[in-house]
């Protein structure tokens, strides 16, 4: 076999601080408010879910595509339909302007074991592109620059 151009990224692929990841995640509701097109794509979506860094996830309440409440866990006896939680390293990589290969998609992260998807997946799957774009919003604010 002849091969060329093999490149793999070490884990974690980018440098980050947990506090910066948490701050970037907390900014998502405000970023969504400024994205009318993404909000409109979620207009049929009402769901209570668990999203965020695995070290500090949030209960997120979405109504008609808008985040109406985001509260850090734990909240006593609060329910959720599905959870998408990723390591801080995964979010830091996912939010790069040019994310490293294999860290550039929510399901790439689950495949590589850097994120978990649990619960009733129906609302997540019916709005898959919405959630991919929602959780990518910090990328636009140049979270980590070009990796």
Name the site residues for other proteins (rule: CB under 8 A). Answer: 1-7, 97-99, 101-102, 104-108, 110-112, 122, 125-126, 128-129, 132
Q: Return the number of the residue (2 or 19) whose C-beta is nearest other proteins.
A: 2
CB of 146 vs other proteins, minimal distance in Å: 10
The pair of structure tokens assigned to 46 is 């009402």
The pair of structure tokens assigned to 97 is 């302007």
Q: Return the number of the residue (30 or 44) whose C-beta is nearest other proteins.
A: 44
CB of 41 vs other proteins, minimal distance in Å: 10
Q: Return the number of the residue (73 or 119) whose C-beta is nearest other proteins.
A: 119
CA proximity to 143, closest of 20, 61, 33: 20
Q: Return the number of the residue (56 or 102) whose C-beta is nearest other proteins.
A: 102
User: What is the helix (H) or strand (E) element at residue 90, kind and residue range?
Assistant: helix 88-94
CB of 104 vs other proteins, minimal distance in Å: 5
Determine the Cα–Cα distance for residues 128 and 94; give it in Å rounded to an integer.
16
Burial-class residue 67 by CB neighbours within 10 Å (0-12, 13-18, 19+): buried
């Amino acid at each position: 076999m002849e091969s060329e151009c093999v490149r793999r990224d070490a884990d974690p692929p980018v440098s980050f601080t947990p506090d910066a990841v948490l701050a970037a995640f907390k900014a998502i509701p405000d970023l969504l408010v400024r994205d009318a097109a993404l909000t409109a794509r979620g207009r049929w979506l009402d769901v209570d879910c668990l999203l965020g860094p695995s070290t500090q996830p949030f209960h997120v309440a979405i109504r008609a595509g808008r985040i109406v409440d985001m509260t850090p866990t734990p909240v006593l006896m609060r329910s959720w339909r599905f959870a998408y939680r990723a390591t801080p390293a995964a979010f830091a990589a996912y939010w790069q302007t040019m994310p490293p290969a294999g860290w550039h998609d929510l399901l790439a992260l689950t495949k590589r074991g850097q994120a978990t998807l649990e619960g009733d997946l129906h609302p997540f799957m019916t709005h898959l592109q919405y959630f991919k774009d929602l959780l990518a919003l910090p990328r636009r604010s140049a979270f980590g620059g070009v990796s």
